[in-house]
């Protein structure tokens, strides 16, 4: 597999072309509005929480294939997780994208497709945009 | 001799011959893709004679300038000053003293925005820029306005990406202290009618700075004809090394203006409480300058002069037309900027493909283009996009390279299409 295929694996292209949960409903509160000033990519996020458990993540994003696919995958990976576990996963995922640890096969399997992004340091920020936004959304909710 | 010179002037650019001067272009990347460099508006490649000038300088002449009273010191000083004189002569400046050597366009602009504005900008004054400026011809003026209580004004652009001349005229008034305008947009490619803009601005008593970072490398520019007060550009976009910039200041433009950076070289007499300043241009060249790179920038001027700026410009005009024609022939591609007079920086979007995905994809085919806001966020907002892709040509680019870019874009469209 060449580098290009690694960064744009089937799975990423699938999430890019068919993003999951990529809409904000009319009365969704925007809990985080995250921008990457380097490229102007932007995500607005909301999440529904019931009994300290994430029921749904929804977002609106303008960005590249990597940032959109990552947001889509995240929305699925976090669904159903208790908030504490969600925060752990966010932290671990961001660390993995920065090359500080490995991606964990126990995570939502689609996430493994993002491992190729690590070969392109400039694109790591694209892959973590939604996750940084989500961390803010969760702490915003607590506050 | 005379007749050979004439034939050279009349003939077109020998691009294949020129390419031999740029070893960096003759490589394959990602295993087997020939490198296609189309990011010249960001920085240009460096021909052998310029690299050789650096090597020669360090191997034969290296010493500090203007201070050392020894053989090497004199050699270094003579070469440094010869480079200044070449640059002055090249852009039609009356004398070498009109050329202040800086680290780049950005530093040149900041020098004026600090020193000149400290002396001349007052509360209630206005600085006028255009909506197509690079951040480096925007932020320093915003800061100056904030420091002095002045107002920052922005002349809009038209649908075709040209300066709205009517609005520009309307925004000019006796309150306008300074006008800062780009000669050629690094995003839209638009070449502004700067000589006219200077006349209009002078008529209301405003001082004018021209950002020539994108024009001087690609077309003949004569500062005397432009009559601008300040003209700035960078060596690294004109076949020279990084770390050298030029600030041309018209005679008298810096009279009654205090220093910018303080230190060695820029002084005349240093007292315990006060000091006095050196003559121009040294007053604005504090500290040991980037001697080797300035010498090499002089070699870049010689190189471009030898190739002929008029011939380079003519060739790039033709190549740019071809690039635009090929981009227009693709479905779902939109070009930003349709100015009648334009240079070889062409920005575009491919619908459904984010510029970063596009540039990454074509990069893997060996084609280097730029993607992002191109240091022009205010312009991006006006174009209504967060980012664009840009291909930009120089004297060593070929039609075959344009074809490679187009093929790579077509492949990206197949790859990303929903
Ligand atoms: C129009 C324009 N102005 C200013 C600059 C800044 O030049 P430098 O980064 O060399 O200071 C650039 C280069 O990016 C440019 O294209």
Domains, chain B, ranges and CATH? Answer: 15-47+308-412 (3.90.1150.10), 52-305 (3.40.640.10)
> In angstroms, how far is CA B414 from the centroid of its own chain?
36
Contact criterion met (CB < 8 Å) for B364 and A39: no
Which pLDDT does position A143 carry in this prediction?
55
| B244 C-alpha to ligand 1 centroid (Å) | 12
B389: distance to nearest CA of chain A, Å? Answer: 11
Alpha helices in B308-368 (DSSP H): 309-329, 355-364
A41: distance to nearest CA of chain B, Å? Answer: 7
Which residues, 6 or more positions from A31, have their beta carbon under 8 angstroms from its beta carbon? A45, A46, A47, A136, A137, A138, A140, A141
B171: distance to nearest CA of chain A, Å? Answer: 30
What's chain A look like in SS3?
CCHHHHHCCHHHHHHHHCCCCCCCCCCCCCCEEEEECCCCEEEEEEEEEECCEEEEEEEEEECCHHHHHHHHHHHHHHCCCEHHHHHHHHHHHHHHHCCCCCCCCCCCHHHHHHHHHHHCHHHHHHHHHHHHHHHHHHHHHHC
Contact criterion met (CB < 8 Å) for A16 and B416: yes
Which pLDDT does position B8 carry in this prediction?
45
Residue given tokens 């690609």 in the structure block: B218
Distance (Å, whole) CA B308 – CA B323: 22
| B76 C-alpha to ligand 1 centroid (Å) | 28
Provide, as residue numbers in chain A, all residues whose Cβ is less than 8 Å from the Cβ of B354: 41, 63-65
Counting the structural domains of chain A, the total is 1
Stretch A5-12: mean pLDDT: 83
Stretch A11-22: mean pLDDT: 93
Answer whether residue B4 shows pLDDT above 60.
no
Question: Does the Cβ of B134 fall within 6 Å of ligand 1?
Answer: yes
| B100 C-alpha to ligand 1 centroid (Å) | 17
* Residue B395 near residue B316 (C-beta atoms within 8 A): yes
* Residue B165 near residue B412 (C-beta atoms within 8 A): no
Contact criterion met (CB < 8 Å) for B30 and A3: yes
Which pLDDT does position A8 carry in this prediction?
84
Provide, as residue numbers in chain B, all residues whose Cβ is less than 8 Å from the Cβ of A39: 355-356, 371-373, 386-387
CATH number of the domain at A39, please.
3.90.1010.10
Answer whether residue A67 shows pLDDT above 50.
yes
Question: Does the Cβ of B153 fall within 6 Å of ligand 1?
Answer: no
Percentage of chain B with pLDDT > 70? 97
B35: distance to nearest CA of chain A, Å? Answer: 16
The per-residue b/e assignment along B310-337, b for 16 or more CB within 10 angstroms, e otherwise, is ebbbebbbebbebbbebbeeeeebebbb
> Which atom of ligand 1 is the closest one to the Cα of B185?
1
* Residue A22 near residue A71 (C-beta atoms within 8 A): yes
- pLDDT, tens only, B7-60: 444 568 999 999 999 999 999 999 899 999 999 999 999 999 999 999 999 999
Provide, as residue numbers in chain A, all residues whose Cβ is less than 8 Å from the Cβ of B360: 4, 7, 120, 123
Which pLDDT does position B387 carry in this prediction?
92
Enumerate the β-bridge partners of residue A42: A35, A62
Which pLDDT does position A141 carry in this prediction?
75
Contact criterion met (CB < 8 Å) for B364 and A2: yes
Provide, as residue numbers in chain B, all residues whose Cβ is less than 8 Å from the Cβ of A13: 416
* Segment holding B406, helix H or strand E: helix B399-416
Which pLDDT does position B396 carry in this prediction?
98
Provide, as residue numbers in chain B, all residues whose Cβ is less than 8 Å from the Cβ of A7: 360
Distance (Å, whole) CA B189 – CA B7: 31
Residues of B recognised as catalytic: 375
Closest by alpha carbon to B221, among B384, B93, B70, B50? B93
| A44 C-alpha to ligand 1 centroid (Å) | 33
Enumerate the β-bridge partners of residue B141: none
Which pLDDT does position B350 carry in this prediction?
97
> Which residue range is the domain that position A81 belongs to?
3-142
Which DSSP symbol is given to B169?
H
Which pLDDT does position A38 carry in this prediction?
76
Q: Tally the C-alpha atoms within 13 A of residue B150's C-alpha that lie toward its C-beta.
A: 25
Contact criterion met (CB < 8 Å) for B416 and A38: no
- Give burial (CB, 10 Å; 0-12/13-18/19+) of B170: exposed
Question: Does the Cβ of B44 fall within 6 Å of ligand 1?
Answer: no
- Give burial (CB, 10 Å; 0-12/13-18/19+) of B149: exposed
**What residues in chain A have their Cβ under 8 A from chain B's Cβ atoms?**
2-4, 7-8, 13, 16-17, 38-42, 62-66, 120, 123, 126
| B185 C-alpha to ligand 1 centroid (Å) | 10
Best residue for ligand 1 mutational test, from B375, B376, B388 (most atoms within 8 Å of Cβ): B375
Q: Give the pTM.
A: 0.92
Using only C-alpha atoms, chain B has a radius of gyration, in whole angstroms, of: 22
Question: Does the Cβ of B130 fall within 6 Å of ligand 1?
Answer: no
* Residue B221 near residue B183 (C-beta atoms within 8 A): yes
**What residues in chain B have their Cβ under 8 A from chain A's Cβ atoms?**
30, 354-357, 360-361, 364, 371-373, 377, 380, 386-387, 415-416, 418
Q: Which residue has its alpha carbon closest to ligand 1 atom 12?
A: B213
Residue A53: C-alpha distances to residues A81, A83, A135, B363 (Å): 6, 6, 15, 43
Percentage of chain B with pLDDT > 90? 94
Answer whether residue B418 shows pLDDT above 70.
no
* Residue B406 near residue B391 (C-beta atoms within 8 A): no
Answer whether residue B205 shows pLDDT above 70.
yes
Q: Tally the C-alpha atoms within 13 A of residue A95's C-alpha that lie toward its C-beta.
A: 10
Residue given tokens 């969704």 in the structure block: A28
Per mean pLDDT, which range of A16-30, B160-174, B182-196, B301-315 is the poorest? A16-30
- pLDDT, tens only, B378-412: 999 999 998 999 999 999 999 999 999 999 999 99
Per mean pLDDT, which range of A4-8, B127-131, B200-204 is the poorest? A4-8
Enumerate the β-bridge partners of residue B129: B154
Which pLDDT does position A1 carry in this prediction?
52
Which pLDDT does position B6 carry in this prediction?
45
Helix, coil or strand: residue B69: coil
Closest by alpha carbon to B80, among B253, B260, B244? B244
Helix, coil or strand: residue B395: coil
Nearest CB to A41 within list B364, B386, B415? B386
B363: tokens are 């990069």
Residue given tokens 């490995």 in the structure block: A102
Stretch A24-36: mean pLDDT: 91
Q: Tally the C-alpha atoms within 13 A of residue B101's C-alpha that lie toward its C-beta.
A: 28
Output the CA torsion sign for B344, B349, B350, B353.
positive
Stretch A7-12: mean pLDDT: 86
A47: distance to nearest CA of chain B, Å? Answer: 26
- Give burial (CB, 10 Å; 0-12/13-18/19+) of A95: middle
Nearest CA in chain A to B364: A4
Residue A73: C-alpha distances to residues A7, A14, A113, B125, B183 (Å): 15, 10, 10, 53, 46
Distance (Å, whole) CA B12 – CA B319: 13
Which residues, 6 or more positions from B334, have their beta carbon under 8 angstroms from its beta carbon? B348, B349, B351
B176: tokens are 């306008």
- pLDDT, tens only, B86-141: 999 999 999 999 999 999 999 999 999 999 999 999 999 999 999 999 999 999 99
pLDDT band at residue A104, thresholds of 50, 70 and 90?
confident
pLDDT band at residue B1, thresholds of 50, 70 and 90?
very low
Provide, as residue numbers in chain A, all residues whose Cβ is less than 8 Å from the Cβ of B373: 39-40
Which pLDDT does position B405 carry in this prediction?
98
Nearest CA in chain B to A15: B418
């Amino acid at each position: 597999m060449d580098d290009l295929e690694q960064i744009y694996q089937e799975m990423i292209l699938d999430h890019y072309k068919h993003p999951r949960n990529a809409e904000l409903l009319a009365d969704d509160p925007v809990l985080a509005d995250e921008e990457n000033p380097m490229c102007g990519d932007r995500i607005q996020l909301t999440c529904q929480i019931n009994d300290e458990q994430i029921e749904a993540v929804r977002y609106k994003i303008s960005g590249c294939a990597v940032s959109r696919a990552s947001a889509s995958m995240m929305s699925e990976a976090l669904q159903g997780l208790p908030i504490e576990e969600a925060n752990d996963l966010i932290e671990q995922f961001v660390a993995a994208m920065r090359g500080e640890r490995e991606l964990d096969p126990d995570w939502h399997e689609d996430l493994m497709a993002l491992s190729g992004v690590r070969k392109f340091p400039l694109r790591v920020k694209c892959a973590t945009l939604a996750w940084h936004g989500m961390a803010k959304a969760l702490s915003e909710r607590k506050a | 001799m005379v007749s050979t010179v004439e034939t050279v002037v009349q003939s077109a650019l020998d691009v294949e011959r020129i390419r031999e001067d740029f070893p960096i272009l003759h490589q394959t990347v990602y295993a087997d893709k020939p490198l296609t460099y189309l990011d010249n508006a960001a920085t240009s490649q460096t021909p052998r004679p310029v690299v050789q000038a650096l090597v020669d300088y360090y191997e034969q002449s290296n010493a500090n300038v203007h201070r050392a009273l020894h053989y090497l010191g004199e050699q270094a000083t003579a070469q440094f000053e010869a480079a200044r004189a070449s640059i002055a002569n090249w852009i039609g400046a009356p004398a070498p003293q009109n050329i202040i050597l800086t680290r780049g366009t950005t530093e040149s602009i900041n020098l004026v925005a600090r020193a000149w504005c400290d002396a001349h900008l007052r509360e209630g004054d206005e600085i006028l820029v255009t909506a197509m400026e690079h951040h480096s011809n925007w932020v320093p003026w915003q800061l100056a306005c904030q420091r002095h209580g002045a107002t920052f004004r922005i002349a809009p652009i038209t649908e075709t990406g040209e300066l709205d001349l009517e609005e520009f005229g309307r925004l000019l008034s006796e309150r306008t202290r300074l006008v800062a305008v780009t000669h050629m947009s690094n995003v839209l490619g638009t070449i502004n009618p700067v000589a006219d803009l200077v006349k209009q601005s002078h008529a209301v008593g405003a001082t004018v700075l021209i950002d020539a970072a994108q024009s001087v490398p690609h077309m003949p520019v004569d500062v005397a004809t432009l009559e601008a007060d300040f003209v700035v550009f960078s060596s690294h976009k004109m076949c020279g090394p990084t770390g050298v910039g030029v600030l041309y200041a018209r005679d008298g433009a810096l009279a009654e203006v205090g220093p910018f950076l303080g230190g060695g070289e820029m002084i005349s007499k240093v007292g315990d409480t006060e000091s006095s300043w050196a003559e121009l241009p040294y007053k604005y060249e504090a500290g040991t300058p980037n001697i080797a790179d300035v010498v090499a920038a002089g070699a870049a001027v010689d190189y471009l002069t030898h190739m002929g700026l008029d011939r380079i410009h003519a060739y790039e005009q033709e190549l740019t037309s071809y690039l635009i024609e090929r981009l227009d022939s693709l479905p779902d591609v939109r070009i930003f900027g349709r100015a009648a007079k334009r240079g070889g920086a062409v920005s575009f979007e491919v619908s459904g493909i984010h510029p970063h995905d596009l540039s990454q994809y074509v990069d893997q085919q060996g084609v280097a283009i730029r993607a992002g806001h191109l240091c022009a966020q205010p312009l991006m907002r006006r174009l209504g996009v967060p980012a664009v892709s840009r291909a930009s040509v120089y004297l060593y680019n070929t039609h075959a390279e344009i074809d490679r870019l187009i093929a790579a874009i077509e492949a990206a469209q197949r790859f990303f299409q929903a």
